Structure 1
Amino acid sequence: MQKRKQLLTASLAAGLVACLVWSGQNPVQARSPSQTEGHKPEEEKIALGRMLFFDVSLSKNRTQSCATCHDPGRAFTDGRSNAGKGMVSLGDDGISYGNRNTPTAMYAKFSPDFHFNQKTGQYVGGQFLDGRAKDLAEQSGQPPLNLVEMNMPSVGSIIERLKQNEHYHKTFRALYGDAVWNSDETAYEAMMQSLAAFERTGQFAPFNSKYDKYLRGEYELTVLEDLGRTLFFSNQNVNCSVCHKLHAEDAPKETFTNYEYHNIGVPRNEDVVALNQLAREFADHGLLENPQVDDPAQKGKFKVPTLRNIAVTGPYMHNGVFKDLRTVVLFYDKYNNPKSQINPETGQPWGEAEVPETVNLADLRANALTDRKVDALVAFMELLTDEEYEHLLEKKPAADK
């Protein structure tokens, strides 16, 4: 058991190198299915990707699909009530957990390919909290081979599962050509491209929240929501928009992330450390655990998440350490407000930063918040909930008019 738990310290990064290399070949170097004879319309690829997304046969014990941890009924996050208390996800073997909170798959298609921006000096984009997958296709190939997720032993074992399904056997040939089954690598690339095609559909990015309706003149903000919007976009009050804005203020289809990586001083989640029987001094090094990154200055940095559907996708932070969205706002406020030094969820002072040496104190500077301003920021973020998930918002008294 202890040996298995030690695998979790690498979690979703270092332990997955094998899923990127098949017989010495990088999957992104394999022939693209889009170049294969017999390629059919994108709609058919999407239909195949949708079927794969919900298929539990991609896990060793046939207990998990992609949708298990990315439930479309919960904004594509893990809503299961398991021993991980929602902080981290339970694996296919029924005993293993990751040490990172499962991020939403919604709006992920807008993240650029992982790269280093020479102009800003920042790593940008990619998939996963440490950006170790270049894009959606590469991301989709990792969970099936992750020991603490779907736990399949090899690419070959997954291809054998796919071949057992006559529909897959025919559809892969129809979409990607007769040669698609000639090698495990080509078939797996086709599977990844199909999953990515599904994740690029409008189901993952509907842009139909009240905020989107406000921008179209179809919804009138309450006084509290409007205050929150003003605060959010104002650099003279809080610095939310420094990291959580890519376009101009109130631009349509804003995803509320700049896709960069930052360390905001999130404390270690002691519950996750205990759950996974990790060493007391365990620290998640974030971006530095990305095999493509070899720079100590990146230690403890994590990808800035989208704020789309943030009010219904808790718990929060890379390790699920905070349960409530209001707690997250108060955590930011602690850097600037002597009155915000107690974590309301524990009744104790905020924990020390998991990786203190790289905390981005410059961007955390802001004016201290009043209770009303905290409420306003939460109200604004609730506005970013897509229409199909509004029923997941906690029932609260009507906001100020």
Structure 2
Amino acid sequence: MNPRHSISGLLALTAVLFGLSGCETPADPEVDNATQNQKKVALGEALFHDTNLSLNRTMACATCHQTGSAMIDTRESAAVGASLGDDDFSRSDRNAPTAAYAAFTPSFHFDSGEGLYIGGQFHDGRAKDLKAQAKGPFLNPVEMMMPDESSVIERVKENSERVEQFKTIYGENIFDDDLKAYDALADSIAIFEMSDVFAPFDSKYDRFLSGEESLTPLEAEGLRLFEGKAMCSACHPATTADGSRPLFTDHTYDNLGVPVNHQLRAVNGLGEGVIDNGLGGREEINDPALNGAFKVATLRNIAVTGPYMHNGLFKDLKTVVHFYNTRDVEGAINPETGEAWEEGEVDATKNVNELGDLGLTDEEEDALVAFMKTLTDKQYEHLIPAD
């Protein structure tokens, strides 16, 4: 396992905006950029919530990323760890991550100085950026299930108002080429996901940083542990060198030694013989040293975005903290099963330097949870589970 390094310059939104406007120029070149952006946001929002763009017209982006629920799938069916697809039967093998703050993730790349892969969308970074990510779910056979890009665009063209929005923003001829129209569709969704709806930066911790509010003694102790004994900040930095609001991720990849989610495997039909190698399993990466590595998730809204881990294995945030603390401690118990922790799905390459035997007391685990609850956006604070 490579040691962690301080990754600089990753929080600038300009890195995310790079390359997202690869469609035709607006029909009216005199339109103010801000106005044009507002039009893209409005179109992207409509497309994000449009269930007609799935095969059976039952599923939208917002189905798995609900704007009133911290951008996750709150359907009861998702509790096993992965969302149901458009056919109300199929499932992937991974938990749908929150879409909140995703716009700040840099494009996928290898940092030769750090010796690490950084950024990208999805748990394994297979989509380079937010626009590439937006193209994926429509065509995924266990998500929205559309057969090809042209089929999606034909659904778009069923809505005359939507057609006019496309033409106004991307040009009268945008529908002459289905691939260009599909690129425009993804572009507008990505621009919507860059709006303040997804990243308000108004949690209690943000208010604490700006001097508007104080942390309770338990929350303050949790912050101290977060940056010290628990080593959380090694991958989820709570401060930034340039004073910008922290995203609580360094955008790198790590193998946490997470066990198989047997309940999910039982319902998605993949069975027990499958191994999800994450980043290392991508054909173009193909690096056994990275097997089992998944993107370090943001901790913003973590208290209200369960189930947790890339496969949705754990239901409770306290369980996650206890896993980090005791994964490698002989006799330690998974509180959700009452049994000892299982071996990781990809155990050989798991991180043993920053988790597994942290020596935290139960009270210290509670303090960490209390602190992480302060990372919840104000509009979702009512969703925080009661103690």
TM-score, normalised relative to structure 1: 0.87
- What letter matches 1:328 in structure 2? V
Match of 2:273 in 1: 281
Match of 1:364 in 2: 355
Q: Distance in 2 between matches of 1:377 and 1:29?
A: 38
CA contact (8 A) 2:80 2:264 kept: no
Match of 1:343 in 2: 334
Report the alpha carbon displacement of residue 362 of structure 1 after superposing the two structures with TM. Answer: 1.9
Classify 1:353/1:285 alpha carbon distance in 2 versus 1 (closer, same or farther; 3 Å): same
Q: Helix, strand or coil: the match of 1:73?
A: coil
Q: Helix, strand or coil: the match of 1:318?
A: coil
- What letter matches 2:60 in structure 1? S
Report the alpha carbon displacement of residue 373 of structure 1 after superposing the two structures with TM. Answer: 0.5
Unaligned regions of 5+ residues in structure 1, if any? 1-27, 397-401
1:32 to 15, 22, 29: 22
Report the alpha carbon displacement of residue 295 of structure 1 after superposing the two structures with TM. Answer: 1.6
1:137 to 131, 139, 162: 131
Within-5 A mapping of 1:227-306: 227-234=221-228, 237-245=229-237, 247-248=239-240, 251-306=243-298
CA contact (8 A) 1:245 1:256 kept: yes
- What letter matches 1:51 in structure 2? A
Match of 2:8 in 1: none
Q: Distance in 2 between matches of 1:122 and 1:31?
A: 27
CA contact (8 A) 1:255 1:308 kept: yes
Report the alpha carbon displacement of residue 31 of structure 1 after superposing the two structures with TM. Answer: 8.4
2:42 to 41, 47, 50: 47
CA contact (8 A) 1:337 1:369 kept: no
TM-score, normalised relative to structure 2: 0.90
Match of 2:6 in 1: none
Match of 1:392 in 2: 383
For these two proteins, the number of residue pairs brought into alignment is: 365
Q: Distance in 1 between matches of 2:44 and 2:208?
A: 33
Report the alpha carbon displacement of residue 188 of structure 1 after superposing the two structures with TM. Answer: 0.4
CA contact (8 A) 2:20 2:131 kept: no
1:317 to 309, 331, 334: 309
Q: Distance in 2 between matches of 1:377 and 1:313?
A: 16
2:147 to 150, 153, 162: 153
CA contact (8 A) 1:31 1:186 kept: no
Q: Distance in 2 between matches of 1:345 and 1:360?
A: 23
Classify 1:337/1:351 alpha carbon distance in 2 versus 1 (closer, same or farther; 3 Å): closer
Match of 1:79 in 2: 74
Report the alpha carbon displacement of residue 220 of structure 1 after superposing the two structures with TM. Answer: 1.3
Aligned Cα root-mean-square deviation (Å): 2.0
CA contact (8 A) 1:310 1:384 kept: yes
Instruction: Note the alpha carbon deviations across 1:115-166, whole angstroms, 9 max, x for none.
Output: 0111111111000000010111110011000000000011111111111110
Q: Helix, strand or coil: the match of 1:168?
A: helix
Q: Distance in 2 between matches of 1:268 and 1:187?
A: 40
Q: Distance in 2 between matches of 1:170 and 1:43?
A: 15
Q: Helix, strand or coil: the match of 1:123?
A: strand
Classify 1:30/1:107 alpha carbon distance in 2 versus 1 (closer, same or farther; 3 Å): closer
Report the alpha carbon displacement of residue 36 of structure 1 after superposing the two structures with TM. Answer: 5.0
Report the alpha carbon displacement of residue 171 of structure 1 after superposing the two structures with TM. Answer: 1.2
Report the alpha carbon displacement of residue 312 of structure 1 after superposing the two structures with TM. Answer: 0.4
Report the alpha carbon displacement of residue 30 of structure 1 after superposing the two structures with TM. Answer: 11
Classify 1:322/1:251 alpha carbon distance in 2 versus 1 (closer, same or farther; 3 Å): farther
Report the alpha carbon displacement of residue 289 of structure 1 after superposing the two structures with TM. Answer: 3.5
Match of 2:60 in 1: 65
Q: Helix, strand or coil: the match of 1:132?
A: coil
Instruction: Note the alpha carbon deviations across 1:236-269, whole angstroms, 9 max, x for none.
Output: x121111111743894410100000000100000
Q: Distance in 1 between matches of 2:68 and 2:19?
A: 35
- What letter matches 1:32 in structure 2? G
- What letter matches 1:380 in structure 2? F
Q: Distance in 1 between matches of 2:48 and 2:105?
A: 20
Report the alpha carbon displacement of residue 292 of structure 1 after superposing the two structures with TM. Answer: 3.4
Q: Distance in 1 between matches of 2:287 and 2:184?
A: 33
Instruction: Note the alpha carbon deviations across 1:86-113, whole angstroms, 9 max, x for none.
Output: 5110000111011100100000001000
Classify 1:394/1:365 alpha carbon distance in 2 versus 1 (closer, same or farther; 3 Å): closer
Match of 2:199 in 1: 205
1:165 to 139, 156, 159: 159
Q: Distance in 2 between matches of 1:363 and 1:124?
A: 19
Unaligned regions of 5+ residues in structure 2, if any? 1-17
- What letter matches 1:355 in structure 2? V
Classify 1:61/1:335 alpha carbon distance in 2 versus 1 (closer, same or farther; 3 Å): closer
